Every structure is written in structure tokens, then in C-alpha cells.
Structure 1
């Protein structure tokens, strides 16, 4: 089994936080998005993953430090790391084909802008499993259409009339991903374009037309990290889940001086809190100092300095300095606001 992670996009909706750090590597609840995603997928699979292939963009942005961090992630999970590049953003189908040497055998393809909580048995007898989440407003999503055998017969984008309430979340299992590769090669060779790009859905639709059996795997929770607002919400939800799981979220090296922590919170190494109340639902990265402040429902990354703040629904990057009275701020890496 292998996992293939297309992550070449620049994450423009999460700017300024994705200007210096690729979006999948931005920490949520103290851990990068892609790290949590891959680890949670492995839990659902319940078997050894031999290879994790990452499809990155321009080396000027996805540099050596990114490559090394992803290699370390794969190796820590007992898998071989493979690194591919999509230098020309031509869509989801094109991105997958950039990993052509790895497109054989059983595989999960997962787009690295979402987090999940799931506990279901993956139907590995099906030719493919499309992971879904039941939603209250299916007209806002791409959904699956099912027959009386609970097999997927169609993918419908933002249906105007009810088709189903199972939204496609961007994670797919293929019993042999080489079949998808062949269909996507046809899509590329015949210049089949939707929305100006080569799409994975066009390869999937060709598989369906040839009689391949598609099933659903429905996740319990699906959390987006597309922009600042939903990323802060996802941080809140993930901290709640981790607290229930009994995970240790507060480092022993935290220095408290007339400070109070209202859990759940993630607080990294060598954080200093002085005359400050933090929480609930706050994540703070390593070596950050917060003084004379109240912070709740926010994400603050590493090596930042916060003074005289009353923060709620805020997101602050790495090496930032903030001194002021604003609440719902969003400032990126190396920013100064004082």
C-alpha cells in the first residue's frame, strides 16, 4: 500500500500564512496539516504503508527544507519517501500523473488541505473507494450518486436537485492505481479539460464507464484548512478531539509567570506566558513569548512575541511581533504590528 499526496498548490486562500510556508506544512493543533492527514489515513487503512509519494511545486518555494521534512515524515511512519514535482499547475489529474513511476498497485490519493477523523473498514475488494462525508447542504459540494447496491455510479458537482448527502472530500483508494493512471493518460493525450485543467474526476468517470466498482468510505469528521477562518475552527475542533484521546498537549518546558491555561490548548517547547490567560482552543508554537495578554480560540506559531493583546479568532505566523488591542487579526511570518 502507498499514499500519494499532491500538494503543489501555493495555498493562496490562506495567505499571508502560506506566503513563506506551504499550506500543508502549517501546524494545526501543534502538528503540520499533512503530517496529521497521512497519520490518520494510515490508522484507517490498518496495514503497513510501504511508500508515501509527495507531489510538490516549484523548488523555489518547496525547497530542500520542505523535502527533508516530508522525507522524515515518511521514514518515521516506516515508509519509503518519494518526491515528485508539478512545475506547471495543470490540475488534479495532471498532478497525479507527475508521480507516474509510483502509480501501480494499491494506493490512497489524498489532497493535503483537509483533516479527518474516521473509523470505518475500507472495502479493499472494490476497484476504488471514494471517501465522503455526510453534509447538511450537499448543493454546495461535489457529491456521489449511489445505486441500490450502494455503489457509486456518478460524481455530481454542486447538484441543484438532491442527489445524495455524501460529499467528496478529496481522498481516494484504488485497488490498482495503475488503472487510474491509464485513464488519466487518455485524458492528457486527448486534451480532455474541465475548468481549464486536467481533472482526476475525468479519469474516475472513465473507470466507472468501463465497469469498475466504486464504493464509499464515510468519515466521521472532515475539517477544512482552506482559509484563516476555517483553519482556526479546525484547530479548535482538533484540540477537542485530541483532549478526548488523552494526548499530552502542553510541553513540560512551558514557563508560567502569573499565567493561566484553560484547556484544551497545545503549547510547544520553551513557551513563556507572563501575566497572561491562554485558552481555550489555543495552539502556540515553540519559543513564543506572550505577555500581558488574553488569548483564546487562536493559532500562534513559533518564535513570536505577543504583548498587550486581547486575541480571539486570531492567527499569527512565525517570528512575528504583535503589540496592540486588535482581536481577530491574521498576520504572517516575520510581520511586525506594534
Structure 2
């Protein structure tokens, strides 16, 4: 089994955090988004994952080493591919064509999920979906009476289905997917100037490939600050009985942690209340503050704050009467 993770986009809606760190490496409950994504896929796929291929932009050697490490910790080979131009989802996936053989999962690294099923590896193709209240903002599927997908509809203006495609796909035959993606490129088949995976899916379906839905219990977005903070909160709730989220060496001086929280190694809390739904990265110092529903990354200093619904980057300094903010790496805000 291969996992292919297109993640070349910089994530403009999460700026300023993505000015210095690619969006898939933003931490959720102490681990990068992409790491949590592939861990969950490995958990539900029901078979050994041999390789995880990451399709990235110019993210630098440190990021590449980190991604290789993520794969190796899961017992897989890590491979790096590059997408130099944003030419659509089909183009992004095809950048990893040398890894597209045998069964493979394609997972776009801007979403997280929770599921309690094991993937049916005998299925020809699986498209993971989640029931949503407003399907007009998503690509959705239609099914026949036997549960086979009959149509893919992008952002329907009128109701056709409430099963939204979450961006995770299984293909039993990776070579077939590769050939269909290459066909789009070779014949310049685009939608609004981009090569789209949905066109390849339609071609495969027309040739007789049967896609079935795989449903998830929870689908969490990481598109902007507010939804990322909410995703962090939800993930902490899921994980509090599954992982040790509070490091043993946290320094607590006249302070309280209200779980669920992730508190990383070397964190110092003085005269503060942290939580619920807070993630604090390695080496951060929080003093004389109350922090709720917030993500704080590594080696930052937070003082005299009553903070909620916020994202604070690495090595930031924050002191003053600010309530809900988004502050990037190396920034200082005092007032």
C-alpha cells in the first residue's frame, strides 16, 4: 500500500503562520497536520504501508527531513516529489507517478478525520465522504441503490446530495489512476485552467470502475485560523483518552491545567490557568495569564494575557490586553 499526499500549497488563508511554515506542518494537538493525517490513514487501511510520498513545493531541507521521519516512524519509506506550478489536483498527484503502482491512498493534507472502520482493500475504488449541512460549498457524490457512486457534482447550486468528498481516495490499481491523470495532461483537459482529479474519476467510472463511499465519523478542516483552532479543540477531545498529552517535565508554579490540553516538553506555567482546548508547544513560557481554546507553538513567551480562539507562532512574544489574535513566528506584540 502507498499513501500519496499532495501538499504543495502554502495555505494563504492561514497567514501569517504559513509565511514561515507550510500549512500541513502546523501542529494540531502537538503533531503536524500531515503527521496526524497519515497516522489515521495507516490506522484504518488495514494493511502494511510500504511508502508515503509527499508532494511539496520549495519547503526547504528541514521540512523534507521532517516528512521522511514521519514516514519512517510509521514503518514506511518516505519519498519527496515537487510540484513547481499550481496546475490542479490531477497535476499534483501525477508528480508522484513513480510511486503510483499497486494499491494507493491519495490524501490531500488540509483535512483531518476520525473513523472507526477498516478500509476494504478489495474495492476497486473508495471515495471518503461526510454528510454535511450545506453541500453547496463542496464536491458531493450521488449513489445508486446498490451503494455505487454514479456522479460527482462540484458545489451544486441545487440539492443533489449531502455527502461531501473530504479529499481522501483509495485506488486498488495505482497504475490505472496514473494513466488517467497522464491522459488529462497529454490532451490538455482542464477546468478553469487546471487539471482536476474529478475528470480522471469520471473517465475511470465511464470505463466501468466502481467507486463506493467510505464514510467518516468526523471531518475537520484546517483552512483558516478559526477552523484550525476548532479542529485542535476537537482533536484534543478525541485524543485525551488515547495519548499522553501533557509532558512529564512541565513546570507548574501556582498554575492549573484544565484538560483536554496538549502541553509540550519544557513548558513553564506561572500564575496561570491553561485550558480547556489549548495546545502549547515545546519550551513555551506562560505567566500571569488565562488561556483557552488556543494553539501556541514552540519557544514563545506569553504574559499578562486573557486569551482565547487564538493562534500564536514559534518564538513569539505577547504581553498585554489582547483577546483573540493570530500572531506569526518571531513576532512581538506588547501593549
The TM-score bracket by the shorter chain reads over 0.9
Alignment RMSD, CA only? Answer: 0.9
Question: Secondary structure at 1:119's aligned position in 2?
Answer: coil
Work out which of the residue numbers 252, 258, 262 in structure 2 matches 1:256: 252
Q: Summarize deviations over 1:24-62 as a string: whole Å, max 9, x none.
A: 01101111000000000011112110000011112xxx1
The equivalent of 1:197 in structure 2 is 194
Shift of 1:140: 2.2
Cα distance in 2 for partners of 1:120, 1:249 equals 25
Q: Are 2:86 and 1:89 equivalent residues in the alignment?
A: yes
Cα distance in 2 for partners of 1:10, 1:49 equals 27
Work out which of the residue numbers 132, 136, 159 in structure 1 matches 2:133: 136
The equivalent of 2:117 in structure 1 is 120
Cα distance in 1 for partners of 2:42, 2:122 equals 18
Superposition pairs for residues 98-109 of structure 1, below 5 Å? 98-109=95-106
Cα distance in 2 for partners of 1:149, 1:121 equals 20
Q: Summarize deviations over 1:276-334 as a string: whole Å, max 9, x none.
A: 11000000000000111110000000000001101010110000000111111000000
Q: Would the aligned equivalents of 1:298 and 1:313 in 2 still touch at CA under 8 Å?
A: yes
Q: Would the aligned equivalents of 1:109 and 1:172 in 2 still touch at CA under 8 Å?
A: yes
Shift of 1:137: 1.6
Question: Secondary structure at 1:123's aligned position in 2?
Answer: coil
Cα distance in 2 for partners of 1:140, 1:93 equals 20
Q: How many pairs align?
A: 334
TM-score by length of 2: 0.98
Shift of 1:125: 2.6
Superposition pairs for residues 165-176 of structure 1, below 5 Å? 165-176=162-173
Q: Summarize deviations over 1:234-259 as a string: whole Å, max 9, x none.
A: 0000000011x342111111101111
The equivalent of 2:270 in structure 1 is 274
Cα distance in 1 for partners of 2:248, 2:180 equals 52
The equivalent of 2:307 in structure 1 is 311
Shift of 1:172: 0.2
The equivalent of 1:75 in structure 2 is 72
Structure 1 residues 95 and 246: alpha-carbon distance in aligned structure 2, compared to 1, 3 A threshold: closer
The equivalent of 2:222 in structure 1 is 225
Q: Would the aligned equivalents of 2:46 and 2:119 in 1 still touch at CA under 8 Å?
A: no
Q: Are 2:233 and 1:236 equivalent residues in the alignment?
A: yes
Cα distance in 1 for partners of 2:242, 2:60 equals 35
Question: Secondary structure at 1:314's aligned position in 2?
Answer: strand
Ranges in structure 1 where 5+ consecutive residues have no aligned partner: none
Q: Would the aligned equivalents of 1:265 and 1:279 in 2 still touch at CA under 8 Å?
A: yes
Q: Would the aligned equivalents of 1:123 and 1:215 in 2 still touch at CA under 8 Å?
A: no
Mean Cα displacement is larger for which, 115-124 or 206-215?
Answer: 115-124
The equivalent of 1:294 in structure 2 is 290
The equivalent of 2:39 in structure 1 is 39
Superposition pairs for residues 15-30 of structure 1, below 5 Å? 15-30=15-30
Question: Secondary structure at 1:181's aligned position in 2?
Answer: helix
Where do 4+ consecutive residues of structure 1 move more than 4 Å?
Answer: none
Cα distance in 1 for partners of 2:102, 2:68 equals 21
The equivalent of 2:156 in structure 1 is 159
Ranges in structure 2 where 5+ consecutive residues have no aligned partner: none
The equivalent of 1:187 in structure 2 is 184
Shift of 1:149: 1.1
Shift of 1:260: 0.9
